[in-house]
Chain A
Amino acid sequence: MSRNINTYFIVLSLSILAFIGKGVMYVLIGSYIPMILSLLVLGVFLISRKRNKLLLISIKFWAIALIIWSLLRILIGSLNFFVKPLTENHLHQQLGIKGTIISLIFLGTGIYLLRKRHSYSKN
């Protein structure tokens, strides 16, 4: 496996693991939707790992989901900052500078996964 492929695999794995971690945290406080969705994504990748075409589609959908997730956070954060502040302090803080940096990292991750998916699937 080349270095590029290795990097791609690590980025893909970390992006899924990040959401599984979030899912675990939410399960502990009684919210199951994030975990169900994370496991669903993991399951799809486990099933499609040996099927090239399916893997490509899975990566595409996951990457687009990451991009939408990031853009939504950036959009809400921008509205909060520039248009009308959110009344809830905890949302206000989570979508502040630190939250925006996290969103940008995931946005970059989504774009990277989307653009490089063909070179990864060929290997």
Chain B
Amino acid sequence: MLTSCSGGKEKVLLDNFPQDIHKAQIEIVSSLSGNQSITSEGSVLNARATVQERELSRAYLVELLTQLSIEPNEQHYRQKNSNPLVDILVGPFKGTNIYGILPATLQTDQYIILGAHYDTARHCPGANDNASSIALLYGVAKRLSELKTRKYNILIVFFDQEEEELIGSKAFVRYIRKKKYTIHSAHTFDQIGWDKDKDRAIELELPSIELEEVYKVQGIRRGIPIYTTKVNSTDHQSFRDIGINAVGITEEYVNKDTSPFKDTPKDTFETINFQYLESTTNLVYEVIKTIVSKNIKDE
């Protein structure tokens, strides 16, 4: 077994990719966290931090969107350092976000953004942080694609460089601003595979009143505790910074029912609670379904 990916232009294969969402989610976390090889050459992603590792991860994500019949797009960016003196010393941040659009079935120019970062800290397999959320997005997008009516376009995005000052999501926010997209809301997901107390609870980070309500209604219906926190250290903050209605969704990070292996080599496939991932996938699907279906019957 290889100990690291060899990067470059290796072909990522998703042959025999499971059609069942639960099995597909297991496959996604397994592939992205180095539990199984992702290329025909046998390359394994032991982390998604270096340029080569992130390039191989993107190749996988592109294939994943293709599986959903969503056209994958790359948004390349460069970003200055936070301190101009650092700019003199080194080059800028360079990265690539991957996104695709599941179009609305009705005429609209509005988008709901569902996002998760794909990078990790160095030497960290990142099963929970954040392959779990990528798997969640796959499951939600797959089910949304089967809806007969969608009032909004759904923009699925995988951010680069969240672990480095949210650089990827900040770059994406600039991009959608430049493209003049009208955004209904942005929902970003980070660490959604740990539930030691098995209560299926999630935390909403800084939701707007409107988004908090729709999540809590679905939580009550499904018997899932939903807590609201003020954590702003992940991608949803990039959207809030420019006034977009945004929310972060995560496991019980503030309540301390969260993976103790964050940013370590122990953030592995074996630590993921796939029942919890499935439960949260279903919850998020119902939330987004509610939003994309809202008022349709009334119109």
Contacts and interface: CB of A to CB of B under 8 A. Distances in A.
Nearest to B81: A31
Interface residues of A, number: 26
Interface string B119-161: 1011000000000000000000000000000000000000001
A118 interface: no
A88 B50 contact: no
B278 interface: no
Contacts of A14: none
A92 interface: yes
Interface stretch (A22-30, A44-52, A55-63, A108-116): A22-30
B92 A73 contact: no
Given A89-B163, A92-B122, A29 B49 contact: no
Contacts of A8: none
Nearest to A32: B84
B89 interface: yes
A37 B163 CA distance: 30
B192 to A, nearest CB: 23
A95 B91 CA distance: 10
B88 A34 contact: yes
A64 B80 CA distance: 26
Nearest to B171: A29
Contacts of B78: 25, 28-29
A94 interface: yes
Most chain A CB inside 10 Å of its own CB: which residue of B50, B92, B164: B92
B90 interface: yes
B220 interface: no
Interface residues of B, number: 24
Interface in A47-101: 69, 72-73, 76, 85, 87-95, 99
B75 to A, nearest CB: 14
Contact of A95 (B87, B90, B93): B90
Contacts of A94: 90-91
A90 B164 contact: yes
B252 to A, nearest CB: 25
Contacts of A87: 121
Contact of A72 (B81, B84, B89, B164): B89
B1 interface: no
A87 to B, nearest CB: 8
A33 interface: yes
Nearest to B164: A88
Nearest to B85: A33
Contacts of B161: 89-90
A30 B93 CA distance: 13
Contact of B93 (A34, A69, A76, A90): A90
B4 to A, nearest CB: 14
A31 B90 CA distance: 13
B80 A89 contact: no
Given A25-B92, A29-B79, A29-B80, A93 B50 contact: yes
Contacts of B92: 25-26, 29, 31
A106 B93 CA distance: 22
A16 to B, nearest CB: 14
A98 to B, nearest CB: 11
Contacts of B214: none
The 7 closest A-B pairs by CB, nearest first: A31-B80, A33-B84, A94-B90, A31-B87, A89-B49, A29-B78, A88-B164
Interface of A: 22, 25-26, 28-34, 37, 69, 72-73, 76, 85, 87-95, 99
14 contacts: A25-B91, A25-B92, A29-B80, A32-B84, A33-B88, A34-B88, A76-B89, A89-B49, A89-B50, A89-B119, A89-B164, A90-B90, A90-B94, A95-B90
